[in-house]
Structure 1
Amino acid sequence: MKKYFIYAYLLIVAGCFTSCGNDEEVNVNDSIFATGTTEKETAFDQWLLENYIYPYNVRVKYRMDDTETDVKYDLVPAEYNRSIALMKIVKHVWMEAYDEVWGIEQTQTYVPKLIQLIGNVAYTESGMILGQAEGGLKVTLFRVNEIDVDNIDPITLNEFYFKTMHHEFTHILNQKKAYDPAFDRISESEYVGSSWYQIDDEEALQKGCISPYAMDRATEDFAEMVSIYVTNTAEDWEYWMRTAGNTGRPILERKFEIVYNYMKDSWGIDLNQLREIVQRRQNEISLLDLSTL
């Protein structure tokens, strides 16, 4: 089954992420491991039933399950309270944003049917895997245990979660309906595969790619265009266009035209409208109760 990954540089990020403390109160009955037997149902399980399974037919696995992970990575379970916070954020910023733009029936049809939460990141020679989409049916979100529920920073959340979620969902949509293959040929000679992490932001932009990771391959380029566009402001986008200069800007605008038309013609989604909705919902995170079920 084909898998898609999204990576990040090996940087230490401050803000909403913090090292895991040992002073957190833990309910020993809320096991974060899948034992192979019937686990005790938690309040979170009931909340997931009402907020994910009933409305979207989506199962969320926050307990560690070896059958859903790759044994070559050194992974740890997602912590219970941080899993609660993340799934509240995911529902508000990702799923309900699409509900607004095309209706819940469409969201029900195309969202992945399994979301797997992992406590840490998976490291490769290219960097950190922050998200993974598999066959249009499953999305894995990493780094759950570094969310600081008491100090939510939307900018950092944007980089490590919002962009990841929209990026991975774009892969899923691309698997359902193919985009114009002309997109793949625009920067065909610029794609560098796993060497993308050696390129900085400015160089990528001037070569006509919206991010260094977009230089991995065409499918990642396409997903980066969508995810970065909707999770950032119009002012941010214009700044990157100016940075791209006379060489990179025309390439990026040509790509974006294909991306915009694909989302509009294939899915009925106006990316400008989606961006407005996503931006508003990102700003509403501070109003969410991320702990009470």
Structure 2
Amino acid sequence: MKELFKYIITKPVAWKSWVGSGLLLLVVTSCFEEDKLDETVKTEDDPTTTLDIYIDDNFTQEYGIAIRYRYVDNFVEVGQSVTPPKLDVVRPMLDLVDKYWIEVYEAVPSGETYFRRYVPAELVFLGGLIYNGDGTVTLGTADAGARIVFTDVNSIDVNDDEWLLRQLHTVYHEFAHIVHQNDKLPTGFEEIAASGYSSAGSWFNLTDEEALERGFVSPYATSSPNEDFAETIAFYMAEADFFDTYINQEDNCTTAACEERNQGRLLILEKLNAIKEHYLKSTGVDLDDLRAAVQAIL
């Protein structure tokens, strides 16, 4: 079976959540580096509806992106269930993708060139979350650089910070994987916080603070260097308080926990600087410019 990125990447990428005993746990898997980025995707009939004509003109013909909002069962695995998107949310979701992702890249030097070269061939809209047979919920996925799946689009509300940030995390995390797939990770990146990576399948046992103390922006970032790279970029793009939370040192530390958080922030800063240098060198895009463009519209 083909491996997937189920949200935020070296094997299948997925954000999942376990719900039970009042506990909500977000889970992420990733994508394999060896997956092909130029996978051929299935074509559909010529567009006939007003919506399909709009998609064909503004996404398929313009960027080579196919927008999938029908036949949702084709985009989930056996044992998963999901609802299709409502027809009236498809155009607003397209506007969101355009405003918060495509136009952002087009607004920065070298961004449009890079975007057009590596944009995934498919965007899939699912109406709700993906419910799995084991009781978990998948929040977003991507497939080998060729497809990004947005979930819960029926709840679209750009004024809902939690919903909007989830979509931005999904798309910027997954798109960031394309950088390391094509140009590897920054030299020595894996060694910056080497002792903080989790053992296989255990990252979801960490709290956010424990991850920060280890030098990671999220528990999922501890799952592998590739996920660490993508998570750091996604958080840097989407989180308005990124510097206060993950970079700036707390003053007047009087506890060991405070000192550990500050040490973790130094590691995140070192990784961020390495990422920005590598990103600029490999893509021509300045991540500071990209972040500024995102934050200007949030």
* TM-score over 0.5 for the pair: yes
Q: What are the ranges of 5 or more consecutive residues in structure 1 without an aligned counterpart?
A: 13-35, 283-293
- In structure 2, do the counterparts of structure 1 residues 53 and 40 end up closer, same or farther at CA, with 3 Å as the change threshold? closer
Cα deviation, 1:160-189, whole Å, max 9, x if unaligned, reads 101111001001222222122521233333
Match of 2:210 among 199, 203, 212: 203
Query: Of residues 125, 138, 143 in structure 2, which corresponds to 1:117?
Result: 125
Q: 1:158 is aligned with what amino acid?
A: L
Q: Deviations over 1:97-124 (max 9, x none)?
A: 1111224333221110111111222246
Say which of 166, 170, 195 aligns to 1:164. Answer: 170
SS class of match (1:194): coil
Q: 2:47 and 2:145 mapped to 1: Cα distance?
A: 30
> What is the correspondence of 1:131-210 to structure 2 with a 5 Å cutoff?
131-148=140-157, 152-192=158-198, 193-210=200-217
**Distance of 1:77 and 1:170 partners within structure 2:** 27
2:236 pairs, out of 223, 229, 240, with 229
CA contact (8 A) 2:83 2:126 kept: yes
RMSD: 2.6
Q: What secondary structure does 1:3 align onto?
A: coil
SS at match of 2:82: coil
TM-score, reference length from structure 2: 0.77
Cα deviation 1:118-170 (Å, max 9, x = unaligned):
1222246695322222121111111112224xxx3252233210111100100
In the alignment, is the contact (CA less than 8 A) between 1:126 and 1:194 conserved in 2?
Answer: no
- Deviation digits for residues 14-40 of structure 1 (CA, Å, limit 9, x no counterpart): xxxxxxxxxxxxxxxxxxxxxx99698
Is the contact between residue 89 and residue 156 of structure 2 (CA under 8 Å) also seen in structure 1?
yes
Q: Residue 56 of structure 1 corresponds to which residue in structure 2?
A: 63
SS of aligned partner of 2:81: coil
Output the TM-score relative to the length of structure 1.
0.78
Distance 1:136 1:37 in 2: 20
C-alpha distance in 2 between matches for 1:40 and 1:173: 33
Amino acid at match of 1:172: I
Percent identity for Structure 1 against Structure 2: 27
Pair 1:103–1:252, CA change in 2 (3 A): closer
Q: Bigger shift: 136-145 or 162-171?
A: 136-145
- Cα 1:126–1:182 change in 2 (3 A) is farther
Q: Report the 3-state secondary structure (helix = DSSP H, G, I; strand = E; otherwise coil) of the residue aligned with 2:107.
A: helix
Q: For this pair of structures, how many residues does the alignment match?
A: 255
- Identify if the C-alpha distance between structure 1 residues 2 and 71 changes in structure 2 by more than 3 Å, giving closer, same or farther: closer
Q: Distance in 1 between matches of 2:194 and 2:152?
A: 32
Q: Secondary structure of the equivalent of 1:158?
A: helix
